[in-house]
Structure 1
Amino acid sequence: MLRQFLVFLAICAFTTAFLQDKIAEDTAKRIAPKFKRKLTNVLMKPVGSSVRLKCAADGNPTPNITWSKNNGPIIRRYFQPRYGKWSVYFEELGKPDDGNYTCLVCNGLGCISNTFVLTVVE
């Protein structure tokens, strides 16, 4: 009985040490979001054209991305935006699409953002 108890304690000690090492390893790999490349902030596009805004980022855990226009939701009457993993795509641009489009990229370690100024010219 004593021998079984000592084996049990040894297994518990090993498991605890293993889990502590694993937690420390996972914590060490945690990285706040950062953009993969320098982003273009000012865009001019003709009416009827299309544009893709990209905010590719790295981080651990993998960050989430949220898009907004002029600090609110992106609302279009026709041709709804298409969202990719790190991008938003607009087709058939019109003057109402002029505005400031912001990507907010966050994980548990922080947030970063970038604002694109889109001007649609006739």
Structure 2
Amino acid sequence: MVTGRLEHANISVTDPDRSAALFKDLLGWRERWRGQSQLGGRTIHVGEAHDYIALYTGEHVKGDYRKGQPLNHVAFTVDDLDAAEMVVTAHGLEPFGHDDYEPGRRFYFLDWDGIEFEVVSYE
């Protein structure tokens, strides 16, 4: 049987530096790489040794995304949901959709480009 895991997601954002700062503060991630994209524009990779998010921007990236086009949301797990919510708020974003059902407590937020993220704690 083959097993696997998500290695990275590449997301277009209008300000990769701003998004990278959020994920570093929210998830304790580090910047792995930054540089010019092969297709023009630039990218910042933030994450851990074996998984990360690539935050891409270019002249054509305008933001103002709508839920479900094509992505519904990206979810992260944290060990302290209340502290995570304070980080999101400190970055000027508004948490919503607080809920508590199996397998854990959660909330959602939209970033500056309209991308929805879910933050879950199993603790």
TM-score tier by shorter-chain length is under 0.3
Q: Which has the higher contact order (CA 8 A, sep 6+)?
A: 1
Using the size of structure 1 for normalisation, the TM-score is: 0.28
Using the size of structure 2 for normalisation, the TM-score is: 0.27
Q: Which has the larger radius of gyration?
A: 1
Q: Comparing both structures, which one devotes a greater share of its residues to helix?
A: 1
